[in-house]
């Protein structure tokens, strides 16, 4: 009985674990081992408590609350998923085999999404202004995982590797490099993984179809409402004199940079050569005006600071300049992140479809 008491005494006083307790077995039972200093780098989750209605204490990890709050501010779909959804044939469930731009544009969208979520920014160095936007170096400022597989995979690579420019990262993620030491940076099967993510979110479904000598998984649209909402948003930006974006699960009211994100999505769809799929209900002349409008948007938002605009062709989007200026002013502490977005859009202007 005495040995049990002494064991409890050592555990209560020391907290040092088996080694401390084992060495104390040959000592007097009344002695207490010295406490082990608390590690400053200990990343063990902290526990908080709150009282429930019946008076009992409930334990929870505060990080779960902050992560939940962040998810509520994020749209249901990432930029990459919106681009893929816009390019998919609704019934056939696959992307055009002749689209050479979408793979590169999707990698650019991954970098943009990480910037919007506050994970990366331009390196804070005044000398960076001597270089073109796309050649400026980016760095990880928050390595908290997002819960999106492709984003987290990219974030881990950026965190563990040397700092590189926006253009270099998009090239490496796309596999466009002659450096065999860096070929491992390429993200594999991005389109298929995005489609599977959309299946998990209930937007697409999976089917198998036979193409001559082999079977291929296809992903027809299961929830047409998501794709129609994206199309409406695109047409709103490219055809309306005054652009108003209603809140939805795909564009929450609480989300920062709602209008800038939408313009970025439109420009990325243009670069990925899938924008026309959202404009099929427009007549020929209206489509031409819409493409002229996105040309202007891409020119204005592929530079930093963003160019001021008084309205596009025929006064389309006359309020966009002021609305986005307000968004930027409200996020003054995030200017280095917005600079990354402008740099990615400047990379998009080099794609073949825009020449």
Question: What is the residue-level pLDDT of the chain in tens, covering all 355 positions?
Answer: 444 444 433 333 344 444 444 444 444 444 444 444 444 444 445 555 555 556 666 665 455 444 555 666 788 999 999 999 999 988 888 888 778 899 999 999 999 999 999 999 999 988 999 999 999 999 999 999 999 999 999 999 999 999 999 999 999 999 988 888 888 899 999 999 999 999 999 999 998 877 777 778 889 999 899 999 999 999 999 999 999 999 999 999 999 999 999 999 999 999 999 999 999 999 999 999 999 999 999 999 999 999 866 555 557 889 999 999 999 999 999 999 999 999 999 999 988 545 4
DSSP per-residue letters across 148-173:
-HHHHHHHHHHHHS---BHHHHHHHH
H helix count then E strand count, the chain? 13, 6
- Rounded to the nearest 10°, the torsion over CA 15, 20, 25, 27 is -100
Cα–Cα–Cα angle for 145, 151, 153, nearest 5°? Answer: 80
23 in helix, strand or coil? Answer: helix
- Residue whose structure tokens are 């689209």: 99
Structure token pair of residue 193: 């993984």
Q: Could you list the beta-strand ranges (E) of the chain.
A: 48-51, 57-60, 120-122, 138-140, 207-211, 214-218
Phi, psi angle pair for 302, to nearest 5°: -100, 20
| CB-based contact 296:320 (threshold 8 Å) | no
Picking from 344, 354, 338, the residue whose alpha carbon sits closest to that of residue 306 is 338
Structure token pair of residue 148: 């999106």
In the chain the domains, ranked by start, together with CATH numbers, are 67-353 (1.10.3630.10)
Picking from 335, 334, 332, 311, the residue whose alpha carbon sits closest to that of residue 322 is 311
Q: How far apart are CA 44 and CA 177, in angstroms?
A: 40
Q: What is the pTM of this model?
A: 0.80
137 in helix, strand or coil? Answer: strand
215-267 pLDDT, tens digit per residue, is 788 899 998 999 999 999 999 999 999 999 999 999 999 999 999 999 999 99
166-213 pLDDT, tens digit per residue, is 999 999 999 988 888 888 899 999 999 999 999 999 999 998 877 777
- Residue whose structure tokens are 């908080």: 48
- Residue whose structure tokens are 């989007």: 317
């Amino acid at each position: 009985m005495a040995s049990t008491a002494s064991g409890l005494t050592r555990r209560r006083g020391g907290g040092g674990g088996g080694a401390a307790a084992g060495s104390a077995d040959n000592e007097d039972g009344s002695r207490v081992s010295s406490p082990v200093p608390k590690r400053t780098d200990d990343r063990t989750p902290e526990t908080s408590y709150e009282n429930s209605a019946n008076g009992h204490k409930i334990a929870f990890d505060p990080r779960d609350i902050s992560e939940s709050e962040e998810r509520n501010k994020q749209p249901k779909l990432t930029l990459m998923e919106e681009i893929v959804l816009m390019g998919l044939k609704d019934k056939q469930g696959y992307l055009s085999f002749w689209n050479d731009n979408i793979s590169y544009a999707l990698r650019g969208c991954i970098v943009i999404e990480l910037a919007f979520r506050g994970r990366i920014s331009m390196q804070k160095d005044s000398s960076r202004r001597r270089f073109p936007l796309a050649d400026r170096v980016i760095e990880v400022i928050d390595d908290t995982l997002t819960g999106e597989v492709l984003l987290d995979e990219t974030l881990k690579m950026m965190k563990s590797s040397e700092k590189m420019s926006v253009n270099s990262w998009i090239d490496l993620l796309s596999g466009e490099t002659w450096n065999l030491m860096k070929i491992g940076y390429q993200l594999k099967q991005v389109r298929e993984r995005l489609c599977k993510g959309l299946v998990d979110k209930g937007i697409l479904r999976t089917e198998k179809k036979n193409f001559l000598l082999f079977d291929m998984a296809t992903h027809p649209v299961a929830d047409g409402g998501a794709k129609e909402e994206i199309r409406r948003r695109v047409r709103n930006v490219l055809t309306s004199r005054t652009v108003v974006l209603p809140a939805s699960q795909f564009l929450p009211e609480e989300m920062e940079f709602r209008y800038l994100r939408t313009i970025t999505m439109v420009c990325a769809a243009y670069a990925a050569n899938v924008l026309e799929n959202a404009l099929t209900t427009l007549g020929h002349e209206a489509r031409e005006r819409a493409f002229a409008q996105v040309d202007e948007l891409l020119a204005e938002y592929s530079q930093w600071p963003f160019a001021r605009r008084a309205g596009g062709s025929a006064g389309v989007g006359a309020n966009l300049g002021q609305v986005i200026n307000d968004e930027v002013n409200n996020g003054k502490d995030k200017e280095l992140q917005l600079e990354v977005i402008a740099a990615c859009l400047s990379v998009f202007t080099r794609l073949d479809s825009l020449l």
